[in-house]
Amino acid sequence: MSTEFAYLPGAAEDTLSAQAVGAGLVGRSRLARAALLADAVAVLLVAAAILALGAIGMAEATSLAVTVLLVGATLPIAFGIAGLYRVDPIDHSALNDARDAAVALACLGFVWFVGALVVAPDIVGRGEGLLGLLGLPILFGLTLTLRARTRHAAMRAHPERVLIVGAGRTGQDVARRLLQSRSGTINVVGFVDDDPMEPSGEDLDGVPVYRESDGIAAAVAATGATRLVLAFTRRRPEEVLDSLRGSRAGSLPTAVVPRLHEITPAHAGLSDLAGVPVVNLTGTRLSTTAQVAKRTLDIGLAGIGLIVLSPVLLAIAAAVRFESPGPIFFRQSRRGIHGSTFRIFKFRTMHRDAEAARLSMAHLNEMANPGPLFKMENDPRVTRVGSFLRRTSLDEIPQLFNVIRGDMSLVGPRPFVVHEADQITGWGERRLDLLPGITGLWQARGRNDVAYEEMVRLDYMYVTNWSLWWDIRIIFQTIPTVLRGTGAR
């Protein structure tokens, strides 16, 4: 493992060609073209599917062809207005795409329907009706699926090349997150810093550092960077700005890490305060409407989940009961909202009396910066069935009963054991302002791979910046984390 970064010389600024500066724009244009192609293919597949089903006769084929041409001509306009062709290789969310596409298709469908009734009500036949009732939902699903595949292929073929200005704790954390979250689609090509911090992990070995005093443009020329990320360096902000403004490097897409990024969520918005751009953070207390919306989402999804997963619950219960003696469910006191205590339900994954053996195994804790937490990858107390349940997070399904009872929420702060939660003091206690959750930012970011201090920070940021849309995003972000088994112990 490297103990320090090695400097590399930057290239002369005059080697920073227009092609290098415009590489980011070319990449985004390529992604936009791939998205447009995916939309066109989706429209054709929907039309072919309706024809193949034999839902229309030859007499309506002509009018259907006209309808398909109309859809193909107007869909890109609607998606363009919704911003679905302004694709950013880094700041992109499939869930945001789904939301925007749903809104665009709903509006477009309404316009088509009204337009048909006004312009030519007599030509609206059964085929066009089926295209609206069946075609739009299918078009929605196909568009998202094809977009995801073509976008990923285009990004892997031409990865975004990110140069990070600042090799301190924040800059290295940004680099590590980029490398972990966008595998194969983003390359961190270097840092720019005159006084870099020692690398904090082997995953940053081989990432070069360029001297900031030589100019950012020199580092861009040497790396062929297509995007800049401004983290924090020891140089004055004015000097960094001068370096950007006085060179072609300022033409690159640039992301700025906010000073208080620890409490700034991704959905925070910008506004103008007397001519100064400021980051808006939401209030720290949920309104009555927000509480009702969150509770409605919890009860609805938890109820559906219990009904759909009831066969799985029975199968797991039988496996737990027959593998080792002891109860089917593990119940434990956890710290809840406003410091209350509740009993959490989980499938038992350990042998009987496992909790009593924990103190004698404290020296075997493998969790990074564990604080009061204890985790082991190969914990001898875990049963064979329990190991599978933990790896797949199926042991947490009974917590849906806690959600129905009102002890927990689907999304919220981590429900720490009472003695662990009591060791969290100061600003970290704000995490108790909301119901604890089955999942949360800590789960979506990697479960037990997240250090204890990071868990507390993420819980604080979630509680103080809650939104219903954020809950929905976290639920969908948790799914691939669980399927990959990231951080499962």
Q: pLDDT, tens digit, for every residue of 254-266?
A: 888 887 777 777 7
The average pLDDT across 154-159 equals 79
Share of the chain above pLDDT 90, in %: 16
Banded model confidence at residue 299, pLDDT cuts 50, 70, 90 = very high
Higher pLDDT, 348 or 26: 348
The average pLDDT across 9-24 equals 51
Beta carbons within 10 angstroms of residue 145's beta carbon: 13
Q: Kindly give the pairing relationship between strand 186-192 and strand 409-411.
A: unpaired
- Segment of 61-75, 279-293, 426-440 carrying the highest mean pLDDT: 426-440
Q: Is residue 162 left, alpha or beta, with left meaning phi > 0 and alpha meaning psi from -120 to 50?
A: beta
The pLDDT score that the predictor gives to residue 366 is 55
The pLDDT score that the predictor gives to residue 346 is 94
The pLDDT score that the predictor gives to residue 410 is 95
Q: Can you tell me the distance from the alpha carbon of 190 to that of 208, in angstroms, rounded to the nearest whole number?
A: 5
Banded model confidence at residue 58, pLDDT cuts 50, 70, 90 = very low
Q: Kindly give the pairing relationship between strand 160-165 and strand 7-8.
A: unpaired
Q: Can you tell me the distance from the alpha carbon of 42 to that of 143, in angstroms, rounded to the nearest whole number?
A: 6
The pLDDT score that the predictor gives to residue 17 is 43
The residue ranges of DSSP E strands in 298-406, in sequence order, are 329-335, 341-347
pTM over cut 0.75: no
The average pLDDT across 307-311 equals 94
Task: Supply angle C-alpha 187, 96, 177, rounded to 5.
Answer: 30
Higher pLDDT, 210 or 351: 210
The residue ranges of DSSP E strands in 3-76, in sequence order, are 7-8
Q: State the virtual CA torsion across 139, 144, 145, 147 in degrees, nearest 10.
A: 110
The average pLDDT across 105-109 equals 85
The pLDDT score that the predictor gives to residue 71 is 76
Q: Kindly give the pairing relationship between strand 409-411 and strand 437-439.
A: parallel
The pLDDT score that the predictor gives to residue 2 is 46
pLDDT at 228 over 50: yes
| Domain map (residue ranges) of the chain | 7-19+159-280, 23-157, 288-484
- Segment of 101-110, 360-369, 402-411, 459-468 carrying the highest mean pLDDT: 402-411
User: What are the residue ranges of helices labelled H in 91-203?
Assistant: 94-119, 126-130, 136-157, 169-181
pLDDT at 378 over 80: no
Could you identify the residue written with the tokens 């999942």? 439
The pLDDT score that the predictor gives to residue 447 is 59
Q: Phi/psi at 340 (nearest 5 deg)? A: -70, 170
Token code pair at residue 356: 């009593």
Lowest mean pLDDT among 282-286, 438-442, 467-471: 282-286
Higher pLDDT, 432 or 12: 432
Q: Can you tell me the distance from the alpha carbon of 348 to that of 330, in angstroms, rounded to the nearest whole number?
A: 5
State the chain's mean pLDDT as an integer.
79
7-19+159-280 is classed in which CATH architecture?
A: 3-Layer(aba) Sandwich (3.40)
Q: What is the tally of helices (H) and strands (E) in the chain?
A: 17, 12
Give the distance from CA 79 to its chain's centroid. 22
The pLDDT score that the predictor gives to residue 403 is 96
Lowest mean pLDDT among 247-251, 408-412, 465-469: 247-251
Could you identify the residue written with the tokens 């112990």? 489
pLDDT at 298 over 80: yes
The pLDDT score that the predictor gives to residue 469 is 85
Banded model confidence at residue 170, pLDDT cuts 50, 70, 90 = confident
Banded model confidence at residue 355, pLDDT cuts 50, 70, 90 = low
Residues 467, 468, 473, 474, CA torsion sign: positive
Q: Give the tens place of pLDDT for each residue, 327-347.
A: 999 999 999 998 899 999 999
What CA–CA distances, in Å, run from 362 to 41, 140, 374? 57, 51, 7
Q: Can you tell me the distance from the alpha carbon of 67 to that of 198, in angstroms, rounded to the nearest whole number?
A: 62
Amino acid at 127: G
The pLDDT score that the predictor gives to residue 59 is 44
Q: 245 in helix, strand or coil?
A: helix
The average pLDDT across 142-155 equals 82
Lowest mean pLDDT among 10-14, 178-182, 209-213, 309-313: 10-14
